[in-house]
Amino acid sequence: MSYVISDNCIACGSCLSQCPTGAISQNDNGKFAIDPNACNHCVGFYGVPQCMSVCPTKDSCSPSLASVIPATEGKYWDRWFGTYEHLTARLQAKQETRYWQNWFDVYSEKLERLMVSH
């Protein structure tokens, strides 16, 4: 699972130079994208995904599974992202790298299991 850039991106360019793995690029049409093979959630570099933390919009950068969430599960995922945003804000203030990674791994595993069951 990598991060992805959604259609909400306003092409400000802030994330481009912040990515520690060089996963973010801009195409000829000015659109930004993340290479899923190069994105590692900033593990080993930062406690918080840098594209998300520098993005001036609310949800232009998010975990890729968000883009395939079934519409019928909207309420569940609204809550899931509410928790995600809350914890991310906390971690941005405290840089709890180990805690962040454990939390992210647990939720990634749950999401992947849910995807398999659909």
Give the footprint of ligand SF4 on this chain (CB under 6 A). 2-3, 5, 9-15, 18-21, 23-24, 32, 34, 39-42, 49-51, 54-57, 60-61
Helices in the chain by DSSP H: which ranges? Answer: 50-54, 74-94, 97-116
**Nearer to ligand SF4 among residue 33 and residue 70 (C-beta):** 33
The pairing of beta strand 3-5 with beta strand 32-34: unpaired
- Within 10 angstroms of residue 110's Cβ, the number of other Cβ atoms is 12
CB of residue 75 to ligand SF4, shortest distance in Å: 26
Which residue, 34 or 111, is less far from ligand SF4 as judged by CB?
A: 34
Tokens standing for residue 111: 């999401």
Closest distance to ligand SF4 from the beta carbon of 16 (Å):
7
Task: Give the nearer residue to ligand SF4 in terms of CB position, either 75 or 98.
Answer: 98
Q: Which residues of 17-39 are buried (b: 16+ CB within 10 A; e: fewer)?
A: ebbebebbeeeeeeebebeeeeb
In the complex, what is the shortest distance from the CB of residue 31 to ligand SF4, in angstroms, rounded to a whole number?
A: 9
Contacts of 82 (CB under 8 A, 6+ apart): none
Q: Considering the complex, what minimum distance in angstroms separates the CB of residue 103 from ligand SF4?
A: 15
Closer residue to ligand SF4 (CB): 10 or 115:
10
